[in-house]
Chain A
Amino acid sequence: MPSSTDRVFKALADPTRRAILERLIRGGEHTVHALTELAGVSQPMVSKHLLALKRARLVHSRRNGRETHYVSQPVALAPLVDWMNDYGAFWKDRFDRLGELLEKMDK
């Protein structure tokens, strides 16, 4: 059973899924139909991506007649923030570079 962090990371590992999520975060609720028009891929592909986002709890869906509406659930990104806390990957990488620079600098 993958952890919620695993699911969030996997869900965001795909650029199309990131684009769909960003669209929902910035633009509010969208139907699958509307997302398909924006995504530039087929509706079955969009539905598949939405399912991955839903499993990661990054989006929430509701049926309204024949249309399914999706909204983002940004709070589910918290594991990513935790991950940043745990690893501080950006700053660790930059600190490594700082160390290399200090070696090169004059005393």
Chain B
Amino acid sequence: MTTETRSVIVEKEFPHSPAKVWRALTESSLIEQWLMKNDFEPTTGRAFTLRMDPVPNWNGVIDCKVVTIDEGKTLAYTWATMGTETVVTFTLTPTSSGTHVRMEQSGFNPENKAAIGGANYGWQSFLGKLDKVVGELE
């Protein structure tokens, strides 16, 4: 059994204040507009779900629990779906022109179900893009 895990890291700078970005990350109605339907509440330890439309072999539900809330700076929650639990951490850093946002989703294990969950997840979610990628392989 390996203990090696992998992370997905995405970073981007937004020309908006950390306070505004924080709202988009922590207000349920705003989260729905960019991420998924949810019943998020900004309370440490609070369980919530993120929901996408169900697809074959996946009910579209991601079970989460708030791990860290450091207002305007750090938000972390667990992300469990299809027998896989990862942790999603958003880190906000103010810059001269706005806010740098770093998202790290950690805990993917390539040798167990996490990889399968991730792969299925990837396939269901990225199908449009994958069709293009696969097309370009021909």
Chain A contact residues, CB within 8 Å of chain B: 2, 6, 9-10, 12-13, 15, 18-19, 22, 25, 74-75, 77-78, 80-85, 88-95, 97-102, 105, 107
Contact = CB atoms under 8 A, between A and B. Distances in A.
Query: Which DSSP category, helix, strand, loop or mixed, fits chain B's interface?
Result: helix
A9 B130 contact: yes
Interface string B65-102: 00000000000000000000000000000000000010
Nearest to B57: A22
B130 A101 contact: no
A71 B20 CA distance: 50
A85 B103 CA distance: 12
B60 interface: no
7 contacts: A2-B137, A77-B116, A78-B110, A80-B123, A84-B108, A97-B34, A102-B21
Given A81-B6, A84-B108, A97-B34, A102 B116 contact: no
Given A74-B115, A101-B24, A84 B103 contact: no
